[in-house]
Amino acid sequence: MGSPSVEQGGSFEAVPAEPTACGRTLSHPSNCLHCGVCCFSQLETYVRVSGGDWERLGVEADRTAHFIGNRAYMKMTEGRCAALALRRTSGGGPEFFCTVYDKRPQVCRDLARGSPECEGELAMKGVRAGLAGGA
């Protein structure tokens, strides 16, 4: 099982809220461990897995990914990626981490915290996670 990298770790402090293109104000978590919004979806075809991704996942592929037709996707369990795990911080708060972080699919590698794509995820799903500010 992979462990989160140093760039994922650290203590939580909210990054100041920023207005988005649609005028909503979002408060970005200081790191992805305190968010996890991008790992949640009800779609079985949410995270596409390429041949290179499958190879990189190695022995974790069977646990975390599957084929739907002739295309591979990360498995979704209870509305979240099967590779996403939840643990509690020393203060009792939730902390999300990817159990295959070092082997994760390219689409996950390409999603940078605070990027327009990240903002889109927060705008669409952050309210459910309590991360988006009011508009």
For residue 127, the model assigns a pLDDT of 59
pLDDT tens track for 39-98: 889 899 999 999 999 999 999 999 999 999 999 999 999 999 999 998 888 888 888 889
Cβ contact 81:105 at 8 Å: no
- What pLDDT shows up at residue 128? 54
The pLDDT value recorded for residue 9 is 37
DSSP string, 95-115: EEEETTGGG--HHHHH--TTS
Query: At 29, is the pLDDT very low, low, confident or very high (cuts 50, 70, 90)?
Result: low
For 134, the token pair is: 């009011």
pTM here? 0.69
pLDDT at position 77: 93
Do 29 and 12 touch, CB atoms closer than 8 A? yes
Return phi, psi of residue 117, to 5°: -65, -40
Average pLDDT, integer, range 3-14:
34
Say what the pLDDT of residue 32 is: 76
pLDDT band at 21 (very low <50, low <70, confident <90, very high): very low
